[in-house]
Amino acid sequence: MDRLPSEILSHIAQHIYWRTQFESALVSQRFYAAVTPVMWRHRFLGQDQPVISFCDALARSPHHVGRHVRVFDNNCEWTEMTLTAVIQHLPQLEKLRIVNGQGVSDQSFKHIARSCPHLTTLFLLDSPITDVAMMALGQHCKQLKHISLGRCPHLRTDFFLALADCPLKEIELSECNLMTTISSNHNNNNNNRGMEALVAQHRLKKLRFLDTKTPPLPIVDNQIATVWPAMHHLCLTSYQALANETQTILFLQSHPHLSMLRLEGGHLSDMTLDTIIQYLPQIAHVGLHGQTRVTAQGIRRLILACSQLTLVSLKGSGMVGTDFPEMTTLSRYQGDGFDRTEIENLFGDEIDIIRTMWKKKKTGSDT
């Protein structure tokens, strides 16, 4: 072992249990130097773990172990003081996940942005932060690629402007309301500028708005324009972003790399399904919650035409067992109540049986 390069020791340490890592670090100074960066690379603090003790460990470490931390995942209850005390010791932090964000204010978030210039990923829930915090993030964290924010009620579309210089690839917003509550020309202009900044994020590959209200995307009807050339995952659970079916169809026509698509709001019809068939050859998952205008015939065409499709979500679309009589060949769909049972998802055996029955029917008609 004495002849093994330190790089090999570090690689081995990545594949052993954390307690064994700790024991290995006590073997010698050489082992300590090789194993410590691995032990500290990913740190997790649970809700029942003392934050103050963790702060003290970072502050008192003679070897500044905080500089090895790249991922910090936690669901502790933070105050501005404790968060600042921890973050200042993590200068190389790349990924930060805060599940319990009630104590994360704009002021403490400014410390995060200044102390962690290498941040690439941020996950934050239940925080009162505003666009002021996002401005600090955009100013200091120029490598930010992934951001996920949930239940942050004070954010508005200005935060897209604040992050305009970040090379964002993934944005997820959950239970946020980016609409300015007071209507005025000034607020409407801010909304428009914010959504234009979102559209300008040309590296974007994944966009998820879950129960999040937004102004419409600045897409002109009757004009096909590729907004995000690399986009493969789009989820909009409120219809505001794509305000009508015309915009939706134009958007789909110009984004052929989409493999996961979820659109809710009740404004789509079989025309959208036919567009998916024609323009999205890689589509694998389609979510159509609440889309009561789509028909079972349209869904069946979608399944038969898209060979890579493995999941269709139909919750709230009004489809029941009688719309897919093929399902009665599966034991779990047999029974007197099947005809009236709401169909929420089609996947696995259900999609296979639709394709199989169509092939049998086609073979029979050919003969």
* CATH topology agreement for domains 46-214 and 216-367: yes
Residue 230 has pLDDT above 60, yes or no: yes
pLDDT in tens, 274-315: 999 999 999 999 999 999 999 999 999 999 999 999 999 999
In this predicted structure, the answer to whether residue 116 has a pLDDT above a threshold of 60 is yes
pLDDT-derived band at 189, boundaries 50, 70, 90: low
Q: Smallest Cα–Cα separation from 98: which of 117, 64, 74?
A: 74
Question: What's the Cα-to-Cα distance from 172 to each of 70, 123, 148, 168, 284, rounded to whole Å?
Answer: 21, 9, 5, 11, 20
Bridge partners (DSSP) listed for residue 345: 313
Residue 193 pLDDT: 87
Highest mean pLDDT among 34-48, 113-127, 216-230, 239-253: 113-127
Model pLDDT, residue 276: 98
Q: Which CATH class is domain 46-214?
A: alpha beta
pTM: 0.87
Token output for 12:
């081995």
Q: Where are the chain's structural domains?
A: 1-43, 46-214, 216-367
Range 216-367: architecture per CATH? Alpha-Beta Horseshoe (3.80)
Whether residue 132 has pLDDT greater than 50: yes
